[in-house]
Copies of this chain bind each other. A is one copy, B any other.
Amino acid sequence: MPETTKEQLITAASTLLDSGGQEAVTLRAVAERVGVSHNAPYRHFRDRSALLAAVAERDFIYLRGAIDRHGEGSDAEVALRNASAQMIDYALKHQARYRLLFSDPDLSPGPGIKDAAKAAFQAFSRVVSRCQGEGVLPEIDTVRLTVLVYSTLHGAIDLELGGRSTESGLGSIEATADLLFHLLRRVELGE
């Protein structure tokens, strides 16, 4: 069954984000790609930012699924690496979309997006929690630990996407994430 016009607009915006970044996503270009007039999008979205919000919501739902799918079966440490790899893979293949979801301060914070983002965070949190159970990560508050792990992952990704990694002296997002996991496994909390 074919996509509705609204879905086509979201898909077109996603494609334009991938090929030309935020500035390439003009409502005129989106409309032309779908084959409607330059202001037809206003029948489906309040404005440009609402269209971008719809792209973000769809991708948050995808990411939650990707994390859940790759965080099962294998042991906890492998699941953590797989979940991280999913985020990194998405970020590298869809740079402007990753930044839209996790960095853009202008992203409209509607309830649909908040729920989808929260669900993705919780999926990541479940993997962190399993690692704590297997002694791979320290036994501290799971939410705070997830925020720490994801802050590091996001920081490494964002610096890389912004081209700040080579300038600063090192590359590879995975290397930074692996170093964090390596060190956290060796934390002795003391009693």
Contact = CB atoms under 8 A, between A and B. Distances in A.
A28 interface: no
Most buried by B among A150, A164, A189: A164
A84 interface: no
Contact of A152 (B106, B152, B186): B152
A170 B150 contact: no
Interface string A119-161: 0010001000000000000101001111110111111101101
A159 B118 contact: no
B147 A168 contact: yes
Q: Secondary structure at chain A's binding surface: helix, strand, loop or mixed? A: helix
A14 interface: no
B95 A163 contact: no
**Copies of this protein in the complex:** 2
A104 interface: yes
A151 B155 contact: yes
Nearest to A100: B162
Given A169-B143, A179-B148, A117 B156 contact: no
A140 B180 CA distance: 12
A3 interface: no
A2 interface: no
Contacts of A163: 105, 107, 109
A88 B176 CA distance: 21
Contacts of A1: none
Interface string A83-97: 000000000000100
Interface of A: 21, 95, 99, 102-107, 109, 114, 117-118, 121, 125, 138, 140, 143-148, 150-156, 158-159, 161-165, 167-170, 175-176, 179-180, 183-184, 186-190
Given A145-B179, A150-B168, 7 more contacts: A21-B106, A103-B158, A103-B164, A117-B168, A118-B168, A147-B165, A183-B183
